[in-house]
Amino acid sequence: MFPSGKSYFGHVFRRKIVVMIRTLLLVLLAAVTLTSGVAAQPAAQSPYGRAERRDPIFLRFDQMAERYWVNTDTMTASHKAVAVPLPRQCAFLYADSYSKGQMSESEVQEVALSNCNRRLAELGPLGENYSVNCQCKVVISNETYVVPRDTLPDDSYGPISIFYRDDRGNVARLNGVARYGALIGRDRSVTFTVENVRAEQVCDGTFTNEGPKSGKFSLSCFGGKFSGNGNYERKAGAPNDHIVARGQTSRGLPVVLVIGLPSQLAAGTYGGI
């Protein structure tokens, strides 16, 4: 029974109101949680310090550095932002944005983030190279870091696929992530390592520069059980800046390395050795 003056229907109505309010609060909390994962804070509120021209991220992406620091059409923009996929091993592409007209800082950040997400999606799935979830985030706004600097790459990273023929003539493939020096094409020699999708180091090698966009490479994998050497070339533009290396294994069989394209795209473009 209900106390005098209180009806069953009133009790049910109050319970429905409580449930509705609780549901609304949960929805709002979820929305805030999702937004906080991608939204960048204003540069003026960031405690992470100023960006510099010689920071690793600008050495890695020299065309972006040119727009950000040198090109007068963009460097003087009221607001400018850079977005890359994180965590750091995912940062193999970027998107930069510069204000036009009365664009606000947040609008410029949104453009950079949207373009980064679009570029990442266009390259296809990353699961054969990465065991982590790669997500674009705004990392620099108005020459200020808006994420902790220790979350950013201090070297260059990129998805790698190695295609080679085994002793039976079958095409084999090794997928993973490459880590290498940021100045390929400018430093005389750059070492690199390869981790498989389980983050186990399986290969190491060297790029030796012979020109701005080309040179020699050597590779050793699985404790020396598999090795190769040949020539590499840096390719700029669509679908993404990447490195293609072609050569032979120690047994005289063909081998191809592709750094900067996810495995499915690399296989469709260069996998027919």
**Domain count for the chain:** 2
Q: What is the pLDDT of residues 186-227, one digit of tens each?
A: 667 899 999 999 999 999 999 999 988 899 999 999 999 899
Which structural domain, as residue segments, surrounds residue 255?
156-270
Give the C-alpha separation, 47 to 41, whole Å: 10
Q: Residue 232: which pLDDT band, with cuts at 50, 70 and 90?
A: very high
**Residue 116 and residue 160 share a domain:** no
Give the C-alpha separation, 143 to 68, whole Å: 9
Give kind and range of the element (H or E) at residue 268. helix 263-270
- For residue 238, the model assigns a pLDDT of 76
**Separation of CA 87 from chain center:** 7
Query: Is residue 184 situated within a structural domain?
Result: yes
> Residue 186 maps to which CATH number?
2.40.128.10
- For residue 184, the model assigns a pLDDT of 55
Query: Is residue 15 situated within a structural domain?
Result: no
At residue 85, does pLDDT exceed 70? yes
At residue 163, does pLDDT exceed 50? yes
**Residue 168 and residue 143 share a domain:** no
SS3 217: strand
Which class for 16: exposed (0-12), middle (13-18), buried (19 or more C-beta within 10 A)? exposed
**Residue 164 and residue 142 share a domain:** no
**Residue 183 and residue 144 share a domain:** no
- For residue 22, the model assigns a pLDDT of 45
Which of 98, 126, 151 represents a domain boundary (last residue)? 151
**Residue 201 and residue 110 share a domain:** no
At residue 273, does pLDDT exceed 90? no
**Residue 266 and residue 251 share a domain:** yes
**Residue 187 and residue 116 share a domain:** no
- For residue 7, the model assigns a pLDDT of 47
**Residue 128 and residue 58 share a domain:** yes
Give the C-alpha separation, 267 to 230, whole Å: 19
Q: What is the pLDDT of residues 132-160, one digit of tens each?
A: 999 999 999 999 999 999 999 988 999 99
Give the C-alpha separation, 261 to 243, whole Å: 9
Give the C-alpha separation, 114 to 142, whole Å: 18
At residue 98, does pLDDT exceed 80? yes
- For residue 246, the model assigns a pLDDT of 96
**Residue for token digits 């990465």?**
130
| Under 8 Å between Cβ of 139 and 145 | yes
Distances (CA, A) of 116 to 8, 31, 77, 121: 56, 21, 20, 9
Q: What is the pLDDT of residues 4-51, one digit of tens each?
A: 454 433 443 444 444 354 444 433 433 333 343 445 889 999 999 999
- For residue 72, the model assigns a pLDDT of 92
**Separation of CA 8 from chain center:** 58
Query: Is residue 12 situated within a structural domain?
Result: no
- For residue 183, the model assigns a pLDDT of 62
- For residue 41, the model assigns a pLDDT of 86
More confident residue, 60 or 95: 95
Per-chain mean pLDDT for the chain = 86
Query: Is residue 175 situated within a structural domain?
Result: yes
Q: Using the 8-state DSSP alphabet, how is residue 89 labeled?
A: G
Query: Is residue 20 situated within a structural domain?
Result: no
Give the C-alpha separation, 147 to 184, whole Å: 26
**Residue 212 and residue 161 share a domain:** yes
Give the C-alpha separation, 150 to 243, whole Å: 26
Based on its alpha-carbon atoms, the radius of gyration of the chain, rounded to whole angstroms, reads 25
Share above pLDDT 90 across residues of the chain, in percent, rounded to a whole number:
68
**Residue 145 and residue 112 share a domain:** yes
Which of 128, 151, 174 represents a domain boundary (last residue)? 151
**Residue 90 and residue 109 share a domain:** yes
| Under 8 Å between Cβ of 173 and 163 | yes
- Mean pLDDT, residues 71-80: 95
**Residue 139 and residue 241 share a domain:** no
- For residue 186, the model assigns a pLDDT of 62
